[in-house]
């Protein structure tokens, strides 16, 4: 008796589908755990940030072209 090839292919594709889904879930859990670990070890920036404004130097006569 010969094997039914189409059902073997369907079963193989179904198995491959579930394996890919399982690998995706495992990688997602690993990424979430490592991100949580990295977030916990990060130093929180609690100091207030001081913003300094930049003022352009005043325009002088030599910087402005004269139209004469």
- The count of domains in the chain is 1
Q: Which domain holds residue 19?
A: 1-40
pLDDT reported for residue 55: 75
Q: Confirm whether 48 is domain-assigned.
A: no
Q: Confirm whether 35 is domain-assigned.
A: yes
Q: Would you give the distance in Å from CA 27 to the centre of its chain? A: 14
* Rounded mean pLDDT, 2-13: 85
pLDDT tops 70 at residue 1: no
pLDDT reported for residue 22: 98
Q: Confirm whether 7 is domain-assigned.
A: yes
CA distance 56 to 20: 58
Q: What's the DSSP call for residue 1?
A: -
Q: pTM for the complete prediction?
A: 0.53
Interval 16-68: pLDDT, tens: 999 999 999 999 999 999 999 888 787 666 667 777 777 776 666 555 555 65
């Amino acid at each position: 008796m010969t094997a039914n090839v189409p059902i073997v292919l369907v079963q193989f594709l179904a198995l491959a589908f579930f394996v890919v889904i399982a690998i995706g879930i495992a990688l997602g859990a690993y990424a979430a755990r490592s991100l949580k670990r990295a977030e916990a070890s990060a130093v929180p920036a609690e100091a207030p940030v001081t913003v300094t404004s930049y003022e352009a130097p005043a325009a002088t006569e030599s910087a402005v072209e004269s139209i004469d």
